[in-house]
Each structure stands twice: as structure tokens, then as C-alpha cells.
Amino acid sequence: MSADDTLAFLAVAQFGGFTAAATRLRQPKTNLVRRVRTLEERLGVRLFDRTTRALALSEAGAEYRRHLGDWGHILVRAEQAVRDLQGEAAGWIRISLPHSLATGVIAPLLTAFGERHPQIRFDLMLDHRSADLVADDVDIALRMGPLPDSTLMARRLTRFPNRIYAAPGYVERHGTPQSPADLMGHATLANRLAQRKDGHAWGLSDGGAIRDYPIAPIMVADDPSALLEALVAGRGLMLATDALVAPIANEGRAIPVLDGWAGRTPELHAVFPTGRAKFLKIRLFVDFLVAHFARSSVSSTSG
């Protein structure tokens, strides 16, 4: 078995084509074509489905890549380390993050960063639960709320204001709460984190200490983004971050209620294994996030 043939296969799979892989490995394209063809002949299968416009892993190719497992990752990481020594940023970044952050907050940033660094690709793992960064081979996790003690590195990115929102239609039909004590008289949409031993409650403050106020939710979800449709439809009140609600609030489909009261303000961190910090692509992306949120913070406070 030739490691060079396998590395050629992995590079073509990672970078999406022979031309891109040849550029990254600084090898003639014909060399990679020959090595992959040699590997296919030895295995007796087609590893890529080729058309005039696209190249994709075949079923056998995907299975072969999966079985390479850690060895395949080691080869790709080694090649990435060499590129980093030459001051290049390229390759995949695997990010674990909640779905509620992905669409309105992070997706536009991936586009902006990709325009600066077109050789970098993103693999997003959308999950409201915390992934095992080592077991899942995650480069960066974007996590909201308190961080558990660990050996992972973390950089604080921003804080998200948390307020109660309602659809205009809900307000027309049911009015608005005048104080947190009125919440039990309203339909609410709750994150599962609002669940307590004796029911559900929202932690709210008018500038002093946070206090829990009971609510009677008609819908509960692990991921707050799953509640947005119900919010817009006027099904109930929702305690949510401004960042999550911004796309619909900007269109006038949701408005803040109970002025002067706010929920806990969760912090957003970029978390990554210590070993990942040596990769240029990781450092560049985390620095990009830090700079973006720093600018956003200055803009919001000065506006």
C-alpha cells in the first residue's frame, strides 16, 4: 500500500478536485490523477464519481475515507502543519455550534471570512448540546453560557442581551404584561433551560439581582430557534436573545415587551483544544470572530 497514493486521494477529497489539491500540495495535477487511478486499480473500485462539471466521492470512496479514520486525519493534519509553516491558511475548519447561532449570527461571518481566505472550508455541526471536541474531531466550538472547567482554550467573543418578545398580533389580542408577576397570565414559549424542579420560570432583572418568575409555557424546546415560528404566529411570549430575534424584529414581526426587564445575559465563547491553536487557519478565524464582535459592541454602545 502506497501512502503517497492514499494522501493523493485524501487531498483530492478534502479540497474538492484534482486542480485544487495539486495547487495545495504543489504537485502536478497529472501526478495526482495517476496516483488516484493507481489506487482505484489496486482496490478494484471507483473512488470518485466524475462528471464534466463536478467531482464527488463515490459510495466506495466515502467508505474508504471513513475507514482511514485517524490515519487519514494524521496525514491531512501533517500536510496542514507544513502549509502553516509557509504562512498559508487552507483546509477544513470543523465548528460545533447551536442551530440558534448558525443562521442569523455566524453564517454571514463564514461568508465574509471565506471571501478573505477562499482556500478555507467549513464543516458545521449544529447541535444544542456540547460536542466532545476530541472525540468528534472538532476544531472550534461556539458555546453560550458558563463554561465548565477543562483543559480547553477559550476566548470570549461577546454577550447577548436577553429580552421578552411578542408578535404584534399577540399584543393586540392579549395585551402585554406590566410586571413579571403577570407572566403566569400569558402564554409563553420556553427554552428547556427554563425548567425548574417545581415548574418553569424565567430569570429576570430590572437592574438588580436576577429573580425567577414562574411561567406556564404552551411550548418547550431544547433549541430556542424552534420556537420562532410560534412567536411570529402570535402563540405566546418568548424570552430570547436580541441576536436570535433580530431578523424578524427588524421586519416588525416581533417586538420587545415588559420594558426595563431583561433576562440573564449569556456570554459567547470560542472554545478549542490546545493543540488546534498551532494551526494558522484556527488562529485567523478566532481572531476574525473576536474583531467582529468587538466592532459590533462598539457600534451598539455608540449608536
Residues 79, 60 share a domain: no
* 57/103 same-domain check: no
Contact 97, 125 (CB under 8 A): yes
Backbone angles phi, psi at 12, to 5 degrees: -65, -40
The rounded distance, in Å, linking the Cα atoms of 261 and 295 is 26
Q: Looking at residue 220, which CATH number applies to its domain?
A: 3.40.190.10
Query: For the chain, what is the domain count?
Result: 3
pLDDT in tens, 5-64: 888 888 888 778 888 888 766 678 888 899 999 989 988 999 998 776 778 889 998 888
CB within 8 A of 79, min separation 6: which ones?
Answer: 7, 11, 24, 25
Residue 20: which residues within 8 A CB-CB, separation 6 or more? Answer: none
Indicate whether 53 and 201 sit together in one domain: no
Q: Please indicate, yes or no, whether residues 90 and 63 belong to a single structural domain of this protein.
A: no
Query: What range does the domain containing 22 cover?
Result: 3-69
Whether the model clears a pTM of 0.85, i.e. scores above it, the answer is no
- At 142-184, the pLDDT tens digits run 998 878 767 788 999 999 889 999 999 999 999 999 999 999 9
pLDDT given for residue 128 in this prediction: 58
- DSSP class of residue 104 equals I
Residues 281 and 153 in one domain: yes
Name the most confidently modeled range: 61-65, 90-94, 119-123, 201-205.
201-205
Most confident of 52-56, 84-88, 127-131, 153-157: 153-157
CA distance 156 to 144: 10
